[in-house]
Amino acid sequence: MNSSAEMHRGYENHLPRRVITGRGRSAGLDGVCAAQGSKKVFLVSDRGVETAGIVEQVAAPLRRAGILAGLAAGVPPEPALTDVTALLEQIRQSAADAVIGLGGGSVMDAAKVAALCAGRGGTPSDYVGLGKAGGRGLPTILVPTTAGTGSEATFVAILSDKGAGTKVGVVDPAILADVAVVDPALTDGLPAGVTAAAGMDALVHAIEAFIASVATPLARGLALEAARQIGPALERVCSHPADTRARDAMAVGSHLAGMAFANSSCCAVHALALPLGGRFPIAHGVITGCFAGELMRHNAPACAADFAALSTALGWGTLPPEAFAARLDAVAGAIGLSAALGRVVVPAAAVAPMARDAVLIRRLVDPNPVDVSEADAERIYRAVLTIVP
C-alpha cells in the first residue's frame, strides 16, 4: 500500500556512517577511534552501566592507548537540557575530538547533543527542533547497552525541558552516529524488566516503522528483518536471560528497528505513550508494549496486508488483523508488561487531558495508517489502563 503507490515520490534515507556488530566488539573501541582519526575521546555513560562494570571494560583499552580524554558516568534517566549543558562543559574542558556514548537511549541522546554543541558551539537549547544543527558536531561513537531504543541508529535526541515541564527533541540527520557499535554481550546482564520492556519497544518500532504512511522502501525492508530477528527471540530472552543467541538477535533486531523508524516514523502507539509516560512513572517500553495490540486493532482496516507480512516475518504464521493484535497482547502479558502496567492506577480525570495531548503530537499521529481522534485516544486509554474514579 505505502510501498508501491508512493514509490515515485522519491525518498531520502539517513543511516549511521559505519555499523559494527558482534559479541565483544565494544572491547576494540581504541581501534575504531584510530580508524576515524580521533586522538582524544570523551566517554559518556551512566551509573547503572558503571555499576555493571561496563564503563571500565570499555574505558580500559582507551586508557591503555592513551586516547581517553575524559569520562562522565553521571547521565541521569530522562536527561534534561541542563544535564547536557553540564556534560558539554566537561567535554569542552577535556578538549576531546570525539565522543563515545555508552548506555541506553538517555545516554546516547545526551552524547549526541553534547557532541553537536561541542563541535558547533552554542548550548543544547539552540538545537531544539527540526534541522537546527547546520552541520555535524564532534564525531560520535554510540554503543548501546540495552536492546530496544535504537538510539544509536537514529537522528533524534529526546531531552526534558524542566522549565517548560515537557520533552523536547533535537532532530537532525547531522546527529547520526559516525560509528554505531552493537555488542550484544553488553546486554547479557540486563535486569529482566529492562530486557522485556526494551525488547517489546523494539518490536513496536519495527511494526510502526513498517506501517507508517511515510515509510521508505529501505525502512520497510529493515523493519521486516528486525521482525525476523525479534520474533523468535523476545519471549525466549525473557524466559531464558542467559540465552546468548536470543540476546544477539534482540541486539541486532532492535538496531535494525531503530534504522527503520529513523527512515520512516513511529506512529500512534508512541503518540499515546508520551502523555502517559510524562504523567506517570512507567517505563516507555511497558507502555508501548501494552498499547500495541489495541492500536493495531484500530489500524486493522488499513493494515491487513502489512500485518500478514509482519506476523509472517515474526514467525507467528500469516495472521489476520485481530489475531495479530491478540498475539501482541499475549506477548505483552507473557513477558510481564501487562502486569507492570496494571500496577499503575490512573485517575479517570487524567484520561481526557492525555487524549487531548496525544492527538496534538501530529508528527506521530499523521503517519498512523488510520486517523486517531481524541475520542479514539480516550477509548484506547480506557481499554488498556486500570482506571479509578
For Fe ion, the closer CB: 114 or 286: 286
Taking the complex as a whole, how short is the minimal distance between the CB of residue 265 and Fe ion, in angstroms? 12
b/e map 222-258, b = 16+ CB within 10 Å: bbbbbbbbbbbbbbbbbeebebeebbbbbbbbbbbbb
Taking the complex as a whole, how short is the minimal distance between the CB of residue 289 and Fe ion, in angstroms? 9
Alpha-carbon distances of 361 from 160, 350, 354, rounded to whole Å: 16, 17, 11
Taking the complex as a whole, how short is the minimal distance between the CB of residue 284 and Fe ion, in angstroms? 6
Instruction: Give CA–CA dist 221/227, Å, rounded.
Output: 10
For Fe ion, the closer CB: 291 or 324: 291
For Fe ion, the closer CB: 136 or 205: 205
Which grid cell is 318? 500469516
Taking the complex as a whole, how short is the minimal distance between the CB of residue 150 and Fe ion, in angstroms? 8
Taking the complex as a whole, how short is the minimal distance between the CB of residue 28 and Fe ion, in angstroms? 29
For Fe ion, the closer CB: 119 or 289: 289
Taking the complex as a whole, how short is the minimal distance between the CB of residue 165 and Fe ion, in angstroms? 21
Which grid cell is 219? 525502512
For Fe ion, the closer CB: 29 or 175: 175
For Fe ion, the closer CB: 15 or 204: 204
Stretch that binds Fe ion, among 111-119, 129-137, 197-205, 329-337 (CB under 5 A): 197-205
Closest CA to 275 of 142, 167, 189: 167
For Fe ion, the closer CB: 201 or 306: 201
Per the listing, cell 530486557 goes with: 195
Task: Name the residue number minimizing CB distance to Fe ion.
Answer: 201
Which of 83, 172, 178, 201 touches Fe ion by CB under 5 A? 201
Instruction: Give CA–CA dist 220/208, Å, rounded.
Output: 10
Residue 152 found at the interface with Fe ion (CB under 5 A): no
Residue 208 found at the interface with Fe ion (CB under 5 A): no
Q: Give the contacts of 172 (CB within 8 A, at least 6 positions apart).
A: 116, 127, 130, 131, 132, 133, 155
Enclosing H/E stretch for 326: helix 321-334
Residue 109 found at the interface with Fe ion (CB under 5 A): no
Taking the complex as a whole, how short is the minimal distance between the CB of residue 266 and Fe ion, in angstroms? 6
Number of neighbouring beta carbons within 10 Å of residue 132:
14
Stretch that binds Fe ion, among 60-68, 194-202, 348-356, 375-383 (CB under 5 A): 194-202
Binding site for Fe ion (CB under 5 A): 201
